[in-house]
Structure 1
Amino acid sequence: MASTAASSRASGQAPLLGIGQVLARLQPEFPELTPSKLRFLEEQRLIAPSRTAAGYRKFSTADVERITVVLSMQRDHYLPLKVIRSHLEAIDAGETPALPGATRASAFLGAAKRYGRSELITEAGATAGLLDDAVSASLLPASDHYGDEALGVLRSLAALRAVGIEPRHLRGLRAAAEREAALVERAIAPSRRADAADKARAAERGRELAGHLAAVHSSVVRATLDGLAR
């Protein structure tokens, strides 16, 4: 609304953005972002854009930063939105909570951290050969830029290599992950309708189910190791 933009300029604040402007700003880094996704984030109480008298959503700089945080957490850590919401609410309350993997949620504020190939290798204490082997074993994607999740994976692969476990030994993990993904896909298939909001809800449910599968997998591995140690 013109009066809203004028008042923002008068107060020295950055002008509020419409949905199209937010998409133009964020889609280069998050190409999956759509108007329906923005509406879904609002529905999940992760963002709260203001409204014009006509009901149009308007986003502040803080709103755009928060959207970036949410999408970065999803992309780099595959976290369910309820986990992300809980951590952002804690930050809003002045706390500094740690996300799974000991990553502080506050670290996501501002620009999302992205690593070039050489930077990723250095940060992980790995080698170019190990990264190539991880890509060859389908444990990491072939890319010019990576997020924190890839950094954690490469660090783990470096630690495993130190005891003789190579990426090629872990090819079965990829096959198992694909089978588990197929289970999740079948479970959420009835929720996938033509409506974009329903698809977003189904994708979020898929993330939650993936978290449950990961918990079961981890428990089974620990229990098996305990059995071997007896």
Structure 2
Amino acid sequence: MTANPPTTLGATPVPATRRAAEARGRGGDELLSIGAVLAFLRDDFPEVTISKIRFLEAEGLVDPQRTPSGYRKFSAGDVERLAYVLRMQRDHYLPLRVIREHLDAIERGEAPPALPAPEARPGPLEEADRELGAASGAVAGVRLGRAELLAAAEAEEGELLEWESYGLVTAGPDGGYDGEALQIARLVAELGRYGLEPRHLRAMKAAAEREVALVDQVVAPLRRHRNPQTRAHAETTARELATLSVRLHAAMVQAGLRARPN
């Protein structure tokens, strides 16, 4: 990925945080540490964190240089790319996939796709929910009654009662079940076919609760922020962290299985 894309979006200047412009004005070829990039961006995006910058790098939205010892070094163009991504997320709620299309078009010297009409824009959590759903297999937008959940999970009433007794599946306040509950029910049922009972899955439940606590530690300061946009962004950040957690868990399980002797 090119580190320094063209700096125009049609007639609209590309992400111009004031401090990113200052960085470019100081010579353009100055390379910044990730901490310095964070300081530049936080004037305009107080919710940004080092973890967020690393997440956007992992998603291929920025490609900083690396020193021989492995430290990231960001150009002024990298800072502008990050500012563009953050602005498109904050102001237009664009998913990362669409933002990537914009940046790819800019790199080719083309006009990026038009921004969606206000009524067509997704909510701030929609894309993160889709990414988490893709990583975990959850079914988005589902609301099921008890009988519908049993039918979809191919389970019996007694099984569901046992799952609920262990806290593995939980109904909502209206007595219905969402997409995550459906996916959990399906997975618990599938694991049961291999002889794993709900009591065996308590460790997984406890691990998930610990991960939730870690995510809460990160997003709690954002939820208390005076800026309403920052408070709104807290939930998107929580979804992104959940997505990374699911990916990390899957990678660790696969690595552990590969390390087992044959």
TM-score w.r.t. the length of structure 1 is 0.54
2:147 maps to which of 86, 105, 118: 118
The match for 2:216 is: 185
Per the TM alignment, residue 118 of structure 1 is displaced from its structure 2 partner at its CA by 0.7
How many angstroms does 1:137 deviate by? 1.7
Task: Give the CA deviation at 1:153.
Answer: 1.5
Paired residues, what number? 151
8 Å CA contact retained: 1:184, 1:209: yes
Secondary structure of residue in 2 paired with 1:80 = helix
Measure, in 1, the Cα distance between the counterparts of 2:187 and 2:207: 18
Equivalent residue for 1:48? 117
| Structure 2 counterparts to residues 100-179 of structure 1, below 5 A | 100=135, 112-143=141-172, 144-179=175-210
Deviation at 1:148, TM superposition (A): 2.7
Q: What CA deviation, in whole Å up to 9, does each residue of 1:101-131 have, x standing for no partner?
A: 6789xxx7xxx44211011101111111222
TM-score, normalising length: structure 2? 0.48
Secondary structure in 2 matching 1:142: coil
Q: Structure 1 residue 80: deviation in Å? A: 0.9
| Cα distance, 1:204 vs structure 2 | 0.7
- Per-residue deviation, 1:174: 1.9
Give, as a single letter, the amino acid of the residue that structure 1 aligns with 2:245.
L
Amino acid aligned to 1:80: A
Q: CA deviation at 1:81?
A: 6.0
- Cα distance in 2 for partners of 1:81, 1:119 equals 23
Contact 2:149 2:182 in 1 (8 A): yes
Q: Distance in 2 between matches of 1:138 and 1:173?
A: 11
Change in 2 beyond 3 A, CA 1:160/1:181: same
More divergent stretch after superposition (119-128 vs 195-204): 195-204
Measure the CA separation in 1 of the matches of 2:129 and 2:161: 32
- For 1:172 and 1:116, how far apart are their aligned partners in 2? 28
Alpha-carbon distance in structure 2 between the residues aligned to 1:181 and 1:83: 17
Give the CA deviation at 1:150: 2.0
CA RMSD of aligned residues (A): 3.2
Q: Is the 8 A contact 1:42 1:48 kept in 2?
A: no
Verify the 8 A CA contact 1:115 1:146 in the aligned structure 2.
yes
